[in-house]
Structures are given as structure tokens and as C-alpha cells.
A and B are shown apart, each in its own frame.
Chain A
Amino acid sequence: QQPVQSPQAVILREGEDAVINCSSSKALYSVHWYRQKHGEAPVFLMILLKGGEQKGHEKISASFNEKKQQSSLYLTASQLSYSGTYFCGTEGSNDYKLSFGAGTTVTVRA
């Protein structure tokens, strides 16, 4: 079952902040975040694991509330390069499927 992302789209000016939310109806083992530029493949941003471990890089951060089965991605001091579609992916505690949300399109303008 696919997780639900919100908002569907957001428009920012350089330097502004944004939050993208991801929620699931099932118990989660991990939450993944990826960014996709137009016409390209998704690129890994970070993983948040049950128990609190976080693996990722860059200036983008995220949180994972295991009890609520929710995750949020924080875009801080946005740059033009942050534009793209962001996808969250969730792995269940009892399965091996990585299911993705419908995506959030982020547009950063100068």
C-alpha cells in the first residue's frame, strides 16, 4: 500500500523553507526519501530506520515518528538545485516491499 504525501506541490523562493510529509497505514521498518529531476531517475537523499538511525547526506534533514508511522522532510534555506519531485518510500516491518508515494513537486525560484 502506497504512503500518502503532502502537499502535492510547493513553490518557494530561494532561501525559504518547506516541509514535506509522508504517512503510512502500516507499521514501518524504514522511510526513504528520493528526489527526481525531470527526465531523470530518482536519486537517493536519505533513509530513516526504526530505532532512530538515520543515513543520508546534504543539507536536507528528515524526521521519523515510528508510533504515528509518519515522516517529514525539511528543506531549509532552499536553493535552486532543490527543485524537483520528492518521493517518500516506505518499507513495512513485515514485508520486503519498498512502496512510494505519489510525490511532491518542489519549485524554487530566484
Chain B
Amino acid sequence: NAGVTQTPKFQVLKTGQSMTLQCAQDMNHEYMSWYRQDPGMGLRLIHYSVGAGITDQGEVPNGYNVSRSTTEDFPLRLLSAAPSQTSVYFCASSRADRGYEQYFGPGTRLTVT
């Protein structure tokens, strides 16, 4: 099993550009989520999904969109990149919606200039 994979590993965007961060898991996990990590802020939840076709907002959803058309994939879209979105982004998945270990992907380091 590859676990949770994320692409790209690094990305530089200019202000106003859009892009999609990819996340995929091969463990048949129902629950998937996106976090951003900034120095001193810990991991902040952006969006999450409890199954295909079901998504909901986390703590910092503004400027990001998600969709969940399959169990395996959970892409994160930046609509119009801003310097405040410079961060490390982690995707995670788990067996069910609560009470189970979260498996994290390796992260995507995004810089917006």
C-alpha cells in the first residue's frame, strides 16, 4: 500500500493564480481531510469529508474548495492564490469518521509570491 500520497511536493504560485493540490489514499478510508500548517499555529483544518459526495468546512475554509467524487481522491483547490496561503498542506485519511488513527500524507509546501 502506498498509503496517503500528495502531489506536488513543492509549488510556487503567483498571486491570483489557481491550482489544485492532489491527495489520494489506497486504504479504502471513508474519512479524509486537509490541514494547513504554519509556524506556531499547529495544524488547522481546512475541509473534510466523511465519504464520497460529502464534504464540510473546517476551521479555515476561506479561499479553498474541495470535492469528493471517489473514495480514493480528495483534491484541494485554491481559487485565487494569496500570499497568506503560503503554508505546508497536509492531507490525512482514517478508517471512519471518529475515533481512528489519522494517516498523513508527506505534505505539499506552497509558496505564493
Contact present for A100 and B43 (CB under 8 Å): yes
Contacts of B35 in A (CB 8 A): 100
**Additional pairs, 8, CB under 8 Å, beyond known A34-B102, A41-B90, A91-B98:** A30-B99, A32-B102, A41-B107, A42-B90, A97-B59, A98-B33, A99-B59, A100-B44
Contacts of B42 in A (CB 8 A): 2, 5, 87, 100-103
Q: How far is the CB of A91 from chain B (nearest CB, A)?
A: 5
Contacts of B40 in A (CB 8 A): 102
Contact present for B97 and A96 (CB under 8 Å): yes
Given contacts A30-B98, A98-B33, contact A42 B104 (CB under 8 A): yes
A11 to B48, CA, bound (A): 35
Contact present for A89 and B102 (CB under 8 Å): yes
Q: Interface digits, B93-110 against A, CB 8 Å rule (1 contact, 0 not)?
A: 000011111111111000
Contacts of B102 in A (CB 8 A): 32, 34, 42, 44, 89, 98
Contacts of B33 in A (CB 8 A): 98
A102 to B42, CA, bound (A): 4
Q: 8 closest pairs, A vs B, by CB? A: A41-B104, A100-B43, A102-B42, A44-B101, A96-B97, A100-B42, A103-B42, A91-B98
Q: Interface digits, B72-113 against A, CB 8 Å rule (1 contact, 0 not)?
A: 000000000000000000100000011111111111000000
Residue B45 at the chain A interface, CB threshold 8 Å: yes
Contact present for B99 and A41 (CB under 8 Å): no
- Which of B41, B50, B105, B106 sits near A96, CB closer than 8 Å? B50
Residue A62 at the chain B interface, CB threshold 8 Å: no
Q: How far is the CB of A90 from chain B (nearest CB, A)?
A: 11
Contact present for A97 and B58 (CB under 8 Å): yes
A98 to B107, CA, bound (A): 18
A-B contact pairs, 16 of them (CB 8 A): A2-B59, A29-B98, A30-B98, A32-B102, A47-B101, A55-B101, A87-B43, A96-B48, A97-B45, A97-B58, A97-B59, A99-B45, A100-B35, A100-B43, A102-B41, A102-B42
Contacts of A12 in B (CB 8 A): none
